Structure 1
Amino acid sequence: MKVVVIGGGPGGYVAAIRAAQLGAEVTLVEKKYIGGTCLNVGCIPTKVLLHTAELYTTLEKESKKLGIQIEKLDIDWKKLQQRKKTVVSQLIGGINMLLKSNKVKVIMGEASFLNENQLEVQLEEGKKAAVDFDYAIIATGSKPLILPIPGADLEGVITSDEALSLEEIPKSMLVIGGGVIGSEFASIYSSMGTKVTIVEALPNIVAAMDQEVTDYLVKALKKARVDIHTDTKVEGIEKTKTGLRVKTVSKEGSKSFEVEKVLLSIGRKPVTENMGLEKIGVKLNKDKIITNKKFQTNINNIYGIGDCRGEIMLAHVASAEGIVAVEGIMGKTSKIDFKTIPYAVYTKPELAAVGMTEKQAKEKGYETKTGKFPLYANGKSLIMGEANGLVKYVVDAKTEEILGLHMAGPRATELIVEGALALRLEATIEEIATTIHAHPTVGESLHEAVHAVHNMAIHLPK
């Protein structure tokens, strides 16, 4: 069985390794870099910067309270950039080792379909190679979406790719788009002294998450001097003598902002062009590859996974889809339980969610109850100096089954896995309540919030 995987990101390389484990002869074709966007210009390098930003903020504002005397605290941007490269290089090396150990053949080049069983790969040195296959998995990922805003092509207008590798920390930055990526970069640069402004067209930033949780992020960003303008649209960007002028409009009228950099963070779009998909008849919805639940396209031996489907654009979802696609090809039955997908925002405070929000549950006809526990009542959060947060359960009032878990606070992105497992096992609040949680931990707050559904949280007053 010959399987070719197009794209070496978290969907593609995981699919390639799983296919090899199951006995396939696997070829992985990658256009630019192993690890894809996530590892090279996405999840990993962003979190390297966020980690330093978090430590810097803690030491800058809390060092005396923590009993640490620091005469001068500063960020060495060049060394931070080098650390980012070191982390990325180490992880890329690890992936290459895994591919090699699983005997996956790697070809660096741009793939396009000649027919339903053959690819042509444009190699880096200008040569071409043909790759025959029985099955193909398209895992080409996504790229930043650029809306036709006048002036979006000006120097100083950047995407998340460039925002990771600026030559120096800018004095000011306007972020167009207050979603996950925009909020993370706002958190990074505001922590490092940049005057940040967020302009978001929707009524809230990180609008897909529970607003009670995102309110904690809004509070933290405003405390860090980030100006947030919601229900506001950008009309255009102009060059000035000192930088850029961004013109916006809202219900309050027109307003302009003078900044050094403008970050376009409006979203991402699937990478599916120049692949010959139309030539072989693969159906698309605009630029999104259409698949069934097995991630099979209308061409039986060609599959699509991850961001190129334009559905849930998360690295861990791409990996899960890759495994399901491969196992289907190799005769194993598997599927994804999409309700257990965790969502994570690596700001300070961290945000995390799994399952339905209270609003979504009510829209689906559930009668709901909620349990909430503020982190100012959690000992470990106080020790860490990060008591700005909340744990919130959304529960089916009739069965007391957990429908969703929403968190803001320290290590929320780590702790959300408990909620994902609870949803996967269709757990009730009693099953969480009767599970002993270690003390002192932030995780205790998940235990307390479950008891709060019945107003029985031990560490909250009546």
Structure 2
Amino acid sequence: MADYDVIVIGGGPGGYVCAIRCAQLGLKTACVEGRETLGGTCLNVGCIPSKALLHASHSLHEAEHNFAKMGLKGKSPSVDWKEMLAYKDDVIGQNTKGIEFLFKKNKVDWLKGWGSIPAAGQVKVGDEVHNAKHIVIASGSEPSSLPGVEVDEKVVVTSTGALELPKIPRKMIVIGAGVIGLEMGSVYARLGSEVTVVEFLDDITPGMDKDIQKTFQRTLKKQGLNFIMGAAVQNVDAKKTKATVNYKLRKDDSEHAIDADVVLVATGRRPFVDGLGLEAAGVKMTERGQIATDHWKTSVPGIWAIGDVTEGPMLAHKAEDEGMAAAESIAGQAGHVNYDVIPGVIYTSPEVASVGKTEQELKEAGVDYKVGKFSFMGNGRAKAVFMGDGFVKILADKATDRVLGVHIMGPTAGELIHEACVLMEYGGSAEDLARTCHAHPTFSEAVREAALACGDGAIHA
């Protein structure tokens, strides 16, 4: 008899959600996690701590730039970096302890240690081997670097090191203009660092809507971030207290160098599968080093995989959805994830959020579409809080009016996008959204106005 119905390897958003859902469905469940706390990268050194620092630094920006405009007079606050880091750590602690409480509440056993799979139906943790009818791999991802760039987490850091620097750097270079690089770059720019972003491509936030890319970069420049685009980093020469980034410009192959106190390597992430014993277990991998799956099943019966170790966007909420779907499938139900409606958010100020197709994707697919666009400068609430930068853009099928994609740059974009998600989940049209009453004054009125712009036209444009 198996020790467990299900053993989940990894206690991050995908893993802990999967474990809890399995337990809710009556399956005897354990979760393997080697960190001292649950929550994985997201809660410990990723999503949650970075949002704490983004909130703190945004509050500082408001005090320095907007308080006086509202008649709030007084000396600008000074930054106590140690206290800010302590606040960030407290936020982490509250969240990770919350997951531990949920495990106890749902009777999920936490097997503390690093897991491996010696054979199908077996998970080894330390010196103990546990039997399970089903194994779910949810081991997440780790930062990836570049050839010639050696990370020491002191001078040359990943997002992990960037969250615990001993002091605020005078100069910071960010390699990579994706979500992590721009969020952390924004934090340190607000705190007074001179931040330069070095990106290989010609646009920031690769894969996002072109209008968003251009407007977003222009806004970040106004906030003090510098950009070197089309630059191929050759190597980083790191000393004890500073580093030099050597790069070539793709347009003319010219060589350049730039110095900084800290270099943040934000060039993406890769599946974390080392030490799991997947090859010996016979689990097939993709060419990109991900676990090959079919509806979260691997090539080995009884072994499942979800989240960052599999194909698709490396997003905590994608992993959570897959965790629930895999749990329901194991329990004999119909697990489902709609991969066409997975939102993405960048938590800078203004926020950027998107869901569904971009214009470029629709053009390449030969889809006949229409565009409805509305600027936050036409939104009364946004202007009242100095957040008029940005817009809402809705892409709808020209024949059916069905919404195919929504892209937002503006205040609380990460919250506003979910109105579009619900609409798209049920195959809604731009007219459905346009005819839905929205409270005034709210930021969400800009979403309705963009929907109106898909028809006869926005009212406040």
Is the aligned partner of 1:258 residue 2:264? Answer: no
2:426 matches 1:432: no
Measured in 1, the distance between the counterparts of 2:99 and 2:377 equals 41
CA contact (8 A) 1:177 1:266 kept: yes
CA distance in 2, matches of 1:318, 1:339: 15
Q: How does 1:160-175 map to 2 (within 5 A)?
A: 160-175=159-174
SS in 2 for 1:291: coil
TM-score, structure 2 as length reference: 0.96
Q: What SS does structure 2 have at the residue aligned with 1:417?
A: helix
Aligned residue for 1:10?
A: 13
Q: Is the 8 A contact 2:64 2:76 kept in 1?
A: no
Q: Structure 2: which amino acid aligns with 1:323?
A: M
| Distance of 1:375 and 1:60 partners within structure 2 | 23
State whether residues 349 and 388 of structure 1, in contact with CA within 8 Å, keep that contact through their aligned partners in structure 2.
yes
Number of equivalent positions: 454
Q: In the TM superposition, what whole-angstrom CA distance separates every residue of 1:58-90 from its partner, at most 9, and x where no partner exists?
A: 111111112111213222111111111111111
Offset, 1:217 = 2.1
Which SS does the other structure have where 2:298 is aligned? Answer: coil
5 Å-filtered alignment, 1:11-50, equals 11-32=14-35, 33-50=37-54
2:291 to 281, 289, 292: 289
**What are the ranges of 5 or more consecutive residues in structure 1 without an aligned counterpart?**
123-127
2:154–2:165 CA contact under 8 A, matched in 1: no
Greater displacement, 310-319 / 217-226: 217-226
**Structure 1 residues 288 and 296: CA distance shift in structure 2, 3 A:** same
RMSD: 1.4
Residue matched to 2:97: 93
How far 1:299 moved relative to its partner?
0.8
Residue of structure 2 in register with 1:125 after alignment: none
Kept in 1, the 8 Å contact 2:5–2:133? The answer is: yes
Quote the Cα distance in structure 1 between the aligned partners of 2:92 and 2:240. Answer: 37
After TM superposition, the structure 1 = structure 2 runs for residues 185-196 of structure 1, keeping only pairs within 5 Å, are 185-196=184-195
Tell me whether 347-356 or 206-215 shows the greater mean CA deviation.
206-215
Taking the aligned partners of 1:101 and 1:150, their CA distance within structure 2 comes to 45
Match of 2:114, SS state, is strand
Question: 2:278 & 2:103 partners in 1: Cα distance?
Answer: 27
- CA separation of 1:40 and 1:240: change in aligned 2, threshold 3 A: closer
Cα distance change of structure 1 residues 39 and 152 upon mapping to structure 2, 3 Å threshold: closer
**Which residue number corresponds to residue 223 of structure 1?**
222
| Residue number among 115, 119, 133 corresponding to 1:115 in the alignment | 119
Tell me how far apart the structure 2 counterparts of residues 450 and 276 of structure 1 sit (CA, whole Å).
51
Q: 1:70 to 1:211 in 2, by over 3 A?
A: farther
Alignment partner of 1:198: what SS?
Answer: strand
The 1:428–1:155 alpha-carbon spacing in structure 2 relative to 1, beyond 3 Å, is: closer
Aligned-pair CA distance for 1:273: 1.3
Instruction: Give unmatched runs, 5+ long, in structure 2.
Output: none
Runs of 4 or more above 3 Å deviation:
150-155, 239-242
The residue identity in structure 1 corresponding to 2:22 is: A
Specify the code of the residue in structure 1 equivalent to 2:10: G
Q: Which residue of 1 aligns with 2:61?
A: 57
Maintained 8 Å contact 1:243/1:259 = yes
Aligned to 2:405: 404
Cα shift at 1:224: 2.1
TM-score (norm: length of structure 1): 0.96
Question: Which residue number in structure 1 is paired with residue 236 of structure 2?
Answer: 237
Whether the aligned pair in 1 keeps the contact of 2:156 and 2:238 (CA below 8 Å) is no
Of residues 232-241 and 372-381 in structure 1, the stretch that sits farther from structure 2 once superposed is: 232-241
Task: Give, in angstroms, the shift of residue 225 of structure 1.
Answer: 2.0
Q: Distance in 2 between matches of 1:307 and 1:458?
A: 43
Residues 153 and 161 of structure 2 are in contact (CA less than 8 Å); yes or no, is this contact kept in structure 1?
no
Q: Shift of residue 452 of structure 1?
A: 1.2
